[in-house]
Structure formats: C-alpha cells, structure tokens
Structure 1
Amino acid sequence: MRLTWKDAITTVVMAAVVALYVAYTQGSDLLLASSVRWTTVSILVLGMVGGCALGAADQLYTGSRSTFTRIYTVVTTVLGVTALTAAVIGLIAANEVALTVLFAATATLWLLATVRHMLPVTAGPSEPRTIIDHEVIDPEKPVRH
C-alpha cells in the first residue's frame, strides 16, 4: 500500500491528541486538557474522527484475508475495545490510568495503521492474480483471450 491524504490527516489528528495529553500531564489550564474527563472526551472524539471516520476497517472484515491481515484485525480490534473501555472508565471515574490507557491505545492504533499502509502489498494465495501465467512465460507471444 502507500500513504494517502487520509494518513496525513490522521497524523495531524494524532499530533493534536499528543498535544492534549502532554498539556494535561503538564497541568495546563486549557479547557480541553484541564481535567481527566475533558481530556478523555477530547482524545476519544479526536480518535473517533481521525481513526474511525477516516479509516477503512470494513476492508479488513470482508473478502479473503491473509494470516497477517487476520492477526492485524485481531490486534486492532482488541486495542479499539481497550480504548473504548478506558474512555468509559475515564469518563465515569475520572481515572488518570484509564486516560493513559486511552492515549496509549489511540497512539498504538495510529502507529499500526500508518506502518501497515507503508508496507508493500503482495499477492497471497487467496488474492486474485493480476497477470496470466503464459504472459509471464512468453511475453512476446500474442495473447488471445
């Protein structure tokens, strides 16, 4: 695959998440980073906009998938559920540990998605071939389909 404009936007969103989290840990008076709850809401909303809304997770759950894609899907699903659970705990209990878990899960999801988009796509046994075998064997021979 390759990086797209969506990856650029999610990187900007992730930079905002990092800035908010750092502002909170430094005791900032900014409204969105002034308390555990406000910071949790901010990171949750930014994560949903930057990750969920711009993502293409539906592609991971449809069609044939390689072993790498299956493992990636499981890992990212667990991280997503962890982030959501941490956000709920952070909102209800105003728990700083939950906020830290939410931040770490969000950052890890962004990193995994970005690295995955930088990896080259290789045709696996379950994916359709793009060229016909005889064209590879004898490229000079005219092909009639």
Structure 2
Amino acid sequence: METLLQYKELRGEKQGFSLHTLVSRLVACVVPATARNKSFMVNDIPAGLSIAANPGLVTAVLSNLFNTVALHSVNSCIRISAKVYSNIILVQVRDHHSANACTIAYSLQPAQPLAEKIGGYLGITSQWKNETTIVFSFPNIPLAA
C-alpha cells in the first residue's frame, strides 16, 4: 500500500506520524467509490495531530473502515474527526445518511483483530435518522525500537 511505502513522509518532526496526512491519503483512495455513491468524505482531523502507534496497523484499520463506509454510503457527507484523551486517540467517522449499519458492522469485522493488536477498539452506533458513527480508539503508545 502506498501509505505504508511512504511512512517516512508521514513521520512528524519529533516523533510519530501525521494522522491528518494519513487520513487524507486514505480518503483519496476511496474517492471513486464515494463519488459513485454521490457521497464525499471530509477530513476534520487537526493538522498537528501526530500519533506514535504502529503505522501499519493504524493504516490497515483505517483503510478497511474508509473502504467500508465508502461502499455503503449513498448521498452522504461523511465526516472524519479525531480527539486526544490523555494517551488515547479517538477517531470518529460519521455517515449522516447510512442505509444499513448492520452491513457496515459485518464488513468491519476483519479490522477488529487488527485494532486489538495495538490495544484498540472498533465500535459502531446507529441513530434513528440513518446516522452511523464508527469509532476507532487506540493508545498513543510510542513505536517500539
């Protein structure tokens, strides 16, 4: 995958790598699918947010997540945001017009073990107005030497 090959470009000045840049690159990969479904993704992650977790696993989980949402969204604005709570990173993906949260949950199952490898969690909630929120949280633990 291109983002794994360009890992050095993602690295921040001091430690970790830019989550905003990683998400932007992964979102660019799913533009054809979102356009086909008359949807689009917005990266609301702060540009300065660096993470130190395993880049390969974070990339794999986010890639699966974005591909799944892109395939199952129709006429939707999908917003991607992230927050930091102490040493935990929480990435939220909100699809404001999701047709089938059960299908999305099923499609995300392969990513769950990858999230768990870095001590993370992948969860999904659905609201009554077709809004689905997917959360990927993981500890912001520095890379092992």
Higher relative contact order at CA 8 Å, sep ≥6: structure 1 or structure 2? Answer: 1
Rg larger for:
1
Shared fold, TM over 0.5: no
Choose between structure 1 and 2: higher helix proportion: 1
TM-score (structure 1 length as normaliser): 0.28
